[in-house]
Amino acid sequence: MTKIAIIGAGLSALSIAHLLKDQARITLFDKARGVSGRMSTRRASPYCFDHGAQYFTARTAAFQTFIQPLIRSRLIDRWNARYVKFDGEKIIERKDWRNDEPRYVGVPGMNAVAKHLADGLTIHLKTKIASLQRNLDGKWQLLDESGSVHGDFDWVISTAPSPQAAELLPTTFQYHDYMRGIEMRPCFSLMLGFSEPLPIEFDAAHVTNADVSWMAANSSKPGRPHPFTLVIHSSEPYAEAHLGLDRDIIAKHLCAETSRIIGLDVATADFKAVHGWHYANNAKREPHQVLLDRVNKLAACGDWCQGGRVEGAFTSAVNLVEMMKENSL
Ligand SMILES: Cc1cc2nc3c(=O)[nH]c(=O)nc-3n(C[C@H](O)[C@H](O)[C@H](O)COP(=O)(O)OP(=O)(O)OC[C@H]3O[C@@H](n4cnc5c(N)ncnc54)[C@H](O)[C@@H]3O)c2cc1C
């Protein structure tokens, strides 16, 4: 059976593993402590935060079919949020997502989706792959940062964000230059936990003309019996300009921005933490070709191949697997 190594254990990696598990022997590697990648959930008892992806839509028939069993088993549910759009401090739009396109979330946390998909797969966590080498038989070996060698594999598929994949995959990869040109942007995620709910009139909000781009009452999502929590995302320009700054300073600034926008002091939160996502989202939303190099038996995949977003991660996996199958792996 063909042996495939997949770098990453986010949605695109787990989708590839599921789509190929009957045709290949698959091993996944992720540098993180758990699966999910940018669909992760941070627990800080008694609080709980989806600090990456906030919700997702399902616009293609393939993704709708894929999520149906997870909806039936209540691992995915609709988030019927009271949605508003802020321009600075002014609300310029209101919507009830109950009557709008469905927005879905994992239950009880966004990471429930990946945890379910990971069941039964061979996954090496806390294993950061540093480089790849080919042995004399033409098989790939993966070197992790502790110096351990993992192999041998017929194929290696990277699902890391494009700048990290460009660092990792050898320059002989046919699409190396192309992939290097696909830019991704950073984002800060501020997590705030409160012992008492704040009297806000929305559950989800996009924000323009501020250093904050998104505000959500995470505890308003279905299946989250936790105390009141807010997840605040910075704007991309703010994150880009301040990535190296001390996280306490970032927290203070994003708290001040949020307080200004909603007119309530959020600096009183009982729990505060900041996470910096270096490669949160695509700079541009356009889809790219499937990056499959048959000669070197290497591929790169991920949301960034399909313009970003959760559904893009799934679609990129489907497109890659279809092309691999056309070529009998
Ligand atoms: C702040 C934020 C908000 C977002 N909001 C939304 C939203 O509301 N809706 C939406 O649809 N999408 C949203 N997204 C995007 C969404 O999270 C992603 O599109 C999707 O999760 C990407 O999945 P993926 O599998 O392609 O990549 P990832 O989830 O990033 O998986 C890649 C994995 O590769 C691992 N990795 C990287 N390098 C190595 C290495 N060298 N060795 C081992 N492992 C490695 C990483 O640890 C990671 O787990 C958001 C993302 C962020 C960060």
Q: Is the CB of 315 under 6 A from ligand 1?
A: no
Q: Is the CB of 14 under 6 A from ligand 1?
A: no
* Size (the chain), residues: 329
pLDDT the model gives residue 285: 84
What does the alpha-carbon distance between residue 181 and residue 204 come to, in Å, rounded to a whole number?
33
Q: Which CATH architecture has domain 1-31+127-181+287-329?
A: 3-Layer(bba) Sandwich (3.50)
**285-313 burial, b if ≥16 CB within 10 A, otherwise e?**
eebbebbbbeebbbbbbbbbbbbbbbbbb
pLDDT the model gives residue 281: 94
Divide the 329 residues of the chain into consecutive groups of 10 and give the mean pLDDT of each group: 97 97 96 98 96 98 97 98 97 98 98 97 98 95 97 97 97 95 96 97 98 98 94 98 96 98 97 98 88 96 95 97 86
pLDDT the model gives residue 196: 95
pLDDT the model gives residue 64: 98
Q: What is the distance in A from the centroid of ligand 1 to the CA of 111? A: 11
Q: What is the distance in A from the centroid of ligand 1 to the CA of 10? A: 6
Residue 168 phi/psi, 5-degree rounding, is -85, -45
Q: What is the distance in A from the centroid of ligand 1 to the CA of 42? A: 14
**In terms of pTM, does the model score above 0.95?**
yes
Q: Is the CB of 158 under 6 A from ligand 1?
A: no
3-class secondary structure, 205: strand
Cis peptide before 186 (omega within 30 of 0): no
CATH 3.90.660.10 location in the chain: 39-110+184-283
Residue found under tokens 């996470």? 275
What does the alpha-carbon distance between residue 312 and residue 319 come to, in Å, rounded to a whole number?
10
Q: Are 215 and 232 in contact (CB under 8 A)?
A: yes
What is the third-level CATH fold of 39-110+184-283? Answer: Polyamine Oxidase; Chain A, domain 2 (3.90.660)
Q: Is the CB of 52 under 6 A from ligand 1?
A: yes
pLDDT the model gives residue 159: 98
Q: What is the distance in A from the centroid of ligand 1 to the CA of 92? A: 30
Query: In sequence order, what are the residues at sequence separation of 6 or more whose Cβ sits closer than 8 angstroms to the Cβ of residue 228?
Result: 193, 194, 196, 197, 198, 217, 219
What is the CB neighbour count within 10 angstroms for residue 94?
Answer: 12
Q: Are 231 and 216 in contact (CB under 8 A)?
A: yes
pLDDT the model gives residue 76: 98
Q: What is the DSSP letter of 287?
A: B
pLDDT the model gives residue 327: 75
Query: In sequence order, what are the residues at sequence separation of 6 or more whose Cβ sits closer than 8 angstroms to the Cβ of residue 264?
Result: 198, 199, 200
CATH 3.50.50.60 location in the chain: 1-31+127-181+287-329
